[in-house]
Amino acid sequence: MHDREIYLKDRFILYPDAGRLDVVHQARAVIQAASAQVSYRGPDGEPRHLRLAGSECEYRVSQEEAVLRAGNDHLLISWHIGLGEAAILCLDVENRSRQPMRLEDVAVLLVDGDGLRLGGSPKNWSFYQNGWQSWSPTFARHTNNGLYLEPTSEDYITKHLPQGPIGAHLASDGFTVITDRASAFSFLCGFVSTAQTLSEVRLALGDDTVKRFQAVCFGDGATLPPGGRWASENLLLEFAPSPLPLLDVYMGRLAASMGARVPQHIPSGWCTWYYFYGENSEDDVAANVARIKELALPLEYILIDHGYERNIGDWLVPSDKFPRGLPWVLQHIREAGLKPALWVAPFGVAQRSELYAQHPDWALKREDGKPVVAWQDNWMGPILALDCTHPDVHSFLTDLFRFLAEEWDIELFKLDFCYAAALPGRRHDPSSTRATALRRGLEIIREAVGDRFLLGCGLPLGLAVGVVDAMRVGTDVAMSWRPFWPDLASPATANALHNVIARYASHGRLWLNDPDCVMVRRRDDENDLKFNEMRTMVALMGLSGGLVLDGDNFVTLAPGRLKYLQKLLPPSGRAAVPLDLFQNETPHLLALPCDGPPGRYVVLAAVNWNDHTVSTTLDLAGLLGDEAKGGLHAYDLLGEHYLGVVTDRLVFDNHLPHATALTLLRPLSTRPDLLASTFHILGGLMEVKSVTWAGNTLRVELEKAGSQFGCLLFTVPEPYHLDTVRVDGEKRRWAVLAEGIVEIGLTLDGRATVDLEFA
């Protein structure tokens, strides 16, 4: 009976009698005997399944798609197999009974046994594990090591594991890329629509075998009325030799289908949280505003984080630390020429708040009728979740955010702890999934604030694409490098940076990435981070391309540390690529090719995550190819130090613990040329507006907001001889750093013209 085989393009083989499908790449069945299934409950509450494999199926094939269909007394399911430009699968579910059905897990792709065949042994695979929300651990996990297990505390599960403890399998939110490191073969499996349901890709491994692979959309028990239809999210399958291009493909497709918002301008600013941790008064804010002006720091927003409000939920009632009320401090910020930004946890409500006392029915309920606790606040105790399917909650959010936008004129909102609205529970609207509930809440806020800037935080990622402008992509930075517990989600600077690196691909595609605040202060100023840890934070946040928010206290900040913040301004917008993302669970090598007025060069970052000193060797020929052959000038951008000319290899013999070697590499030239600028971490790309020759004079035009001391470095090859240097027409001295390398120091106030006259 299982005899028919239907070849669909070069991509699929359909076995309609078996209800199965092979996925073919370059004449090889990479996925064998895949099927699809829906889990659901009827009115009796019994869990049931309908799977294509093992059911009697019908099929039809058209130009655009093949459809495989099966049914029982309750449901009819149709598996749509895309034959267009991309391999896209979707499962359609129709309730053909007279009773409502409740949808549970919908497996859009289900592969049992060893049907997933990427080439070599699964022991050599790396599985990209995307965490659920902003703070959840994300990295390309080596399948053969049990180094890291997800904690199983209730708090961890609430915040990071939306489907509960994950047990023995690997799970990734929304999508994964798996690479077989031995055979250089990579597989992308990801949902490219993410507004309707939470979704996950799961891989269960046995001893050197695949036991099960599946891509699941979670129906969360949403009701499907008689005659109702429901379509799963769209699942994209794609193959390539190396994994990083597949991340790009995924982000591009998801962004297009969800109408991603990617602002041109990248915010910078100061945030109250990471020095004061909510203990700041309105005077602390005012004092920092004053220092920002005195120091001429080119920052844009002042973000008042948690602590200004009396209670989560009672947003317009100030805490005791803001006795004049928020309008006073907001006005103060505006008068200084800065823009007010506000932290709000819109879907949380403190149990002790006025809001909850007045509207206990707005809280999301557990099955036992008690309210769902979304998190614990240090001051306010239990914080409950709002039910974003409740019409009165809609009006509350609309009124609140209209008021904040129009009356308080808040220009940027940090929406925090957003996962609260997507916790499991009983909702006012039983046809809603957890994803549609949260997304509705976000959309209401978006409607209320118009085009004002929305920064998501503690926010499940996929469903927010197209609503938020920026997204926090890691856990909180902290005054300590590592967390007390070996928990990758705990606030700690190393944890935060690992996620920021692993999520580089979403920046500028799904939204702007927010790497969290940078801290540049000294250890005697409310800080435990060592000098090299601070500099690694600066380097990696700069290379994220995302928002630049400072979390120091400018009143106490040591003057010598300011330059590290200045080097991040303005935000570059460009994300470096972690070249070894799938080779190392904690990648340590990032590259950012630069091309602009200061010429063509590469910025490479090598991070030493070890707690001991190492020797790091970068294979330049392998990394840069021909570009390295003719020799490269190497300049240390953090140490502000010329390293010499290198060809095949760059060696850091004394690479200190937690230090980053941030190196600019520029091809040799036969004429004098700009080597680097120290005014910005990218070495010139942001502040060098032009480099031109006129006769014997090489001219560099610089432009950067604020006031900052820095240097320009030049290469002066034989037989050129530097005669005179002028800054804005005035003669200046220069320093010779090495043979053929000169340095010119200057204070840049807005703009400057630097001329080098050669004899």
Would you tell me which residues interact with ligand 9PG (CB under 6 A)? 135, 159, 273, 305-306, 343, 375, 416, 457-458, 476
Closer residue to ligand 9PG (CB): 135 or 401: 135
Question: For residues 18 and 729, what is the distance between their CA atoms, to the nearest angstrom?
Answer: 82
> Considering the complex, what minimum distance in angstroms separates the CB of residue 459 from ligand 9PG?
10
Closer residue to ligand 9PG (CB): 355 or 664: 355
Question: For residues 346 and 383, what is the distance between their CA atoms, to the nearest angstrom?
Answer: 11
Closer residue to ligand 9PG (CB): 476 or 687: 476
> Considering the complex, what minimum distance in angstroms separates the CB of residue 454 from ligand 9PG?
15
Closer residue to ligand 9PG (CB): 306 or 574: 306
Please report, to the nearest 10 degrees, the dihedral formed by the alpha carbons of residues 531, 537, 542, 543 taken in order. Answer: 120
Nearest residue to 570 (alpha-carbon basis) of 421, 441, 679: 679
Closer residue to ligand 9PG (CB): 74 or 159: 159
How many other CB atoms sit within 10 Å of the CB of residue 121? 14
> Considering the complex, what minimum distance in angstroms separates the CB of residue 404 from ligand 9PG?
16
CA 575 to the chain's CA centroid: 11
Q: What is the DSSP letter of 739?
A: T
Closer residue to ligand 9PG (CB): 155 or 749: 155
How many other CB atoms sit within 10 Å of the CB of residue 721? 9
Tell me the three state secondary structure of residue 487: coil
> Considering the complex, what minimum distance in angstroms separates the CB of residue 476 from ligand 9PG?
5
Closer residue to ligand 9PG (CB): 414 or 567: 414
The contacts of residue 45 (CB under 8 Å, 6+ apart) are none
Tell me the three state secondary structure of residue 153: coil
Helical residues (DSSP H) of 618-717, grouped into ranges: 620-624, 626-629
Tell me the three state secondary structure of residue 491: coil
> Considering the complex, what minimum distance in angstroms separates the CB of residue 316 from ligand 9PG?
18
> Considering the complex, what minimum distance in angstroms separates the CB of residue 481 from ligand 9PG?
17
Where is 249: in which H helix or E strand? helix 243-258
Sequence-distant contacts of 536-539: CB under 8 A, at least 24 apart = 536/497, 536/607, 536/658, 536/659, 536/660, 537/477, 537/493, 537/497, 538/564, 538/565, 538/567, 538/568, 538/638, 538/681, 539/605, 539/607, 539/637, 539/638, 539/660, 539/662, 539/681
Closer residue to ligand 9PG (CB): 517 or 702: 517
> Considering the complex, what minimum distance in angstroms separates the CB of residue 338 from ligand 9PG?
19
Q: What angle do CA 341, 343, 349 make, to 5 degrees?
A: 150
Measured CA distances, 290 to 280, 408, 517, 554, 560 (Å): 15, 21, 20, 9, 19
Cβ pair 541, 519 in contact under 8 A: no
Closer residue to ligand 9PG (CB): 101 or 489: 489
Residue type, position 735, single letter: A
> Considering the complex, what minimum distance in angstroms separates the CB of residue 341 from ligand 9PG?
12
Question: For residues 751 and 245, what is the distance between their CA atoms, to the nearest angstrom?
Answer: 39
Question: For residues 327 and 317, what is the distance between their CA atoms, to the nearest angstrom?
Answer: 11
Cβ pair 50, 71 in contact under 8 A: yes
> Considering the complex, what minimum distance in angstroms separates the CB of residue 440 from ligand 9PG?
23
> Considering the complex, what minimum distance in angstroms separates the CB of residue 489 from ligand 9PG?
7
Closer residue to ligand 9PG (CB): 210 or 415: 415
Closer residue to ligand 9PG (CB): 178 or 303: 303
| Chain position whose Cβ is nearest to ligand 9PG | 306
The contacts of residue 249 (CB under 8 Å, 6+ apart) are 188, 236, 238, 240
Q: What is the DSSP letter of 405?
A: I
Question: For residues 260 and 255, what is the distance between their CA atoms, to the nearest angstrom?
Answer: 5
309, β-bridge pairs: 318
> Considering the complex, what minimum distance in angstroms separates the CB of residue 167 from ligand 9PG?
23
Q: What is the DSSP letter of 404?
A: I
> Considering the complex, what minimum distance in angstroms separates the CB of residue 288 from ligand 9PG?
17
Structure tokens at 316: 């317009």
> Considering the complex, what minimum distance in angstroms separates the CB of residue 519 from ligand 9PG?
12
Question: For residues 368 and 344, what is the distance between their CA atoms, to the nearest angstrom?
Answer: 29
Closer residue to ligand 9PG (CB): 499 or 660: 499
Closer residue to ligand 9PG (CB): 551 or 672: 551
Measured CA distances, 77 to 90, 107, 111, 192, 716 (Å): 10, 11, 18, 20, 72
